[in-house]
């Protein structure tokens, strides 16, 4: 993947902020379950235990700011995140027109306070619909490479594009409709969550299709290399519910899926990548 550094105008750098979390009482078993479900997926994080993802009143935060000490490799990742966020935003601005509203990637370390509540790095990247921002601890990219076997900058870009996909669901009203359906039909909560996650994968593929057009780097945009699609597919496969469950517990529990199997995530990412059409991402109409 090739890209041109921008002006860092699409990120909010909080890496110099240290946040403390007042813990919500919970048994270790409950914590482990939440970690397994949310690890490297970006939606189900420990702070969102109340109704509708509202921050709990039992959570208190204390933040301190300081200088950002980062390696040259980490700073390169910062520039990459900014470039991908800018490119995804420009893509969706073109696709949605006046309906599109901007977002940013908030970079943090260890823990962060969002409008959705306090979250720790262990939950992986996530999107908060309440403030319409993507949250990311850059160390996740190291985990994606070493723990999940999905190296490469386009694997990282896929993760960002997936979270921006959740932003698209928010600005188009899909997120609100799904939450209402989940509240009205609690028995369908997991099924609807899977469909929403798969649509975000498909939206990530739509951006990948646009970024695969030749000559984009000369325009100051992200441009994919021929082998980048495989990187994205490998990343989608590595964070499927069945893969995570098998790695964590040794068995697969389809009734506990919240994000879709590896095969489903690969299928929908590929569908968006092949078509470049958001209308091909109607996971709810299957």
Average of per-residue pLDDT across 60-71: 60
Count CA atoms closer than 13 A to 230's CA, side-chain side: 4
Burial of 173 (0-12, 13-18, 19+ CB in 10 A): exposed
What would the two tokens of residue 180 be? 């209402």
pLDDT of residue 84: 97
Percent of the chain with pLDDT over 70: 83
Q: Is the pLDDT of residue 60 over 50?
A: no
70 located within any domain:
yes
Q: Is the pLDDT of residue 196 over 80?
A: yes
Evaluate whether residue 157 is within a structural domain. Answer: yes
| Over residues 180-199, mean pLDDT | 93
Mean pLDDT along residues 180-192: 93
Q: Does position 55 have pLDDT exceeding 60, yes or no? A: no
Distance CA 49, CA 2 (A): 39
Looking at residues 150-177, what average pLDDT do you find? 95
DSSP 89-150: HHHHHHHHGGG-----EEE-SSEEEETTEEEEGGG-SEEETTTTEEEE-THHHHHHHHTS--
Residue 5 lies in a domain: no
- pLDDT score at 39: 43
How far apart, in whole angstroms, are the C-alpha atoms of residue 286 and residue 177? Answer: 17
The tally of domains found in the chain comes to: 1
The stretch 186-204 carries a mean pLDDT of 94
- The candidate with the shortest Cα–Cα distance to 145, out of 234, 241, 38, 247, is 234
Lowest mean pLDDT among 35-39, 220-224, 282-286: 35-39
Q: Say if 6 falls within a structural domain.
A: no
Residue 57 reports pLDDT greater than 80: no
Mean pLDDT of the chain: 83
Query: Which of the residue ranges 13-17, 54-58, 243-247, 271-275 would you say has the lowest mean pLDDT?
Result: 54-58
3-state secondary structure of 261: coil
244 has a pLDDT exceeding 90: no
pTM above 0.85, yes or no: no
Question: What pLDDT score does 88 carry?
Answer: 97
Task: Give the residue, 77 or 243, on which the prediction is more confident.
Answer: 77
Is residue 21 in some structural domain? Answer: yes
pLDDT tens by residue, 249-277: 788 888 777 888 899 999 999 999 999 99
Residue 268: give the domain boundaries.
Answer: 11-285
Whether residue 38 has pLDDT greater than 80: no
């Amino acid at each position: 993947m090739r890209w041109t550094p921008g002006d860092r105008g699409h990120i909010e750098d909080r890496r110099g902020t240290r946040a403390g979390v007042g813990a919500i009482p919970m048994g270790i078993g409950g914590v482990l379950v939440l970690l397994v479900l949310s690890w490297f997926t970006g939606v189900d994080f420990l702070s969102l235990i109340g109704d509708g993802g509202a921050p709990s009143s039992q959570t208190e935060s204390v933040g301190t700011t300081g200088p950002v000490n980062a390696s040259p490799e980490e700073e390169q990742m910062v520039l990459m995140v900014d470039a991908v966020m800018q490119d995804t935003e420009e893509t969706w601005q073109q696709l949605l027109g006046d309906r599109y509203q901007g977002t940013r990637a908030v970079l943090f370390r260890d823990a962060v306070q969002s409008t959705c509540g306090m979250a720790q790095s262990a939950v992986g990247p996530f999107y908060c619909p309440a403030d319409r921002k993507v949250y990311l601890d850059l160390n996740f990219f190291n985990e994606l490479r070493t723990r999940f076997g999905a190296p490469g900058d386009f694997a990282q870009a896929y993760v960002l594009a997936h979270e921006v996909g959740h932003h698209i669901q928010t600005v188009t009203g899909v997120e609100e409709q799904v939450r209402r359906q989940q509240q009205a039909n609690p028995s369908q909560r997991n099924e609807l969550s899977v469909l929403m996650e798969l649509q975000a994968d498909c939206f990530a593929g739509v951006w990948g299709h646009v970024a695969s057009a030749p000559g984009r780097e000369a325009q100051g945009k992200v441009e994919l290399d021929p082998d980048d699609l495989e990187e994205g597919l490998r990343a989608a496969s590595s964070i499927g519910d069945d893969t995570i469950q098998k790695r964590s517990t040794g068995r697969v529990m389809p009734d506990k899926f919240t994000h879709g199997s590896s095969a489903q995530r690969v299928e929908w990412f590929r569908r968006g990548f092949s078509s470049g059409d958001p209308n091909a991402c109607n996971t709810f109409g299957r």
